[in-house]
């Protein structure tokens, strides 16, 4: 029993000592603050029409992104595979970055088509990056020049595009 008490006393004495701290309040410049990182955001593009079974074969439009929302690439380039994903398998979804002109962010010309056609509803998802510490609303993304086409390439009236944001 005496040996056990002696061992505990030695352990207690050996455990005492300085923590290496200078005793300051943590404002001496040694505080590590995590840096904000870019956040993934998805822009979901869908359509609605005069009837839920309205079929379109192609859609073309322009997306103007706000400065805080970006996709990889520069003007004159096509988007990398996986950045723009079609909603339906067997669909083609391609986009190119165009000169933004006076627009503060990136501008994309988007084409989506499917040989067998698709009904109104989800078209594609654009995978973007949100600047660290920034926020964005779907109203800040401008979709313009929307054109839906039938199997002969003729415009289809009454089909309207919609945007939604998904943050992770």
Task: Report the candidate in 150, 149, 95 with the shortest Cα–Cα distance to residue 124.
Answer: 95
pLDDT at res. 166: 94
pTM beyond 0.85: the answer is: no
The CATH label, of 3.20.20.70, 2.60.40.680, 3.30.930.10, 3.30.470.20, for the domain at 37-167 is: 2.60.40.680
Q: Where are the domains of the chain?
A: 37-167
Tokens of 20: 């290496």
* pLDDT digits 0-9 by tens, 50-86: 999 999 999 999 999 999 999 988 778 899 889 999 9
Tokens of 71: 């996709």
pLDDT at res. 19: 56
Task: Tell me which residue has tokens 């509803």.
Answer: 121
């Amino acid at each position: 029993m005496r040996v056990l008490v002696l061992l505990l006393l030695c352990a207690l004495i050996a455990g005492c000592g300085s923590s290496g701290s200078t005793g300051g309040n943590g404002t001496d410049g040694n505080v590590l603050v995590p840096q904000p990182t870019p956040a993934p955001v998805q822009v979901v593009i869908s359509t609605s029409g005069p009837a839920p079974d309205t079929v379109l074969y192609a859609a073309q439009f322009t997306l103007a992104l706000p400065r805080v929302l970006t996709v990889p690439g520069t003007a004159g380039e096509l988007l990398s595979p996986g950045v723009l994903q079609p909603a339906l398998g067997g669909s083609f979804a391609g986009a190119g970055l165009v000169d933004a002109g006076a627009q503060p962010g990136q501008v994309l010309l988007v084409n989506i088509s499917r040989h067998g056609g698709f009904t109104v509803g989800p078209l594609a998802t654009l995978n973007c990056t949100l600047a660290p510490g920034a926020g964005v609303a779907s109203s800040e993304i401008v979709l313009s020049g929307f054109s839906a086409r039938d199997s002969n390439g003729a415009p289809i009236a009454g089909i309207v595009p919609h945007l939604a944001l998904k943050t992770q």
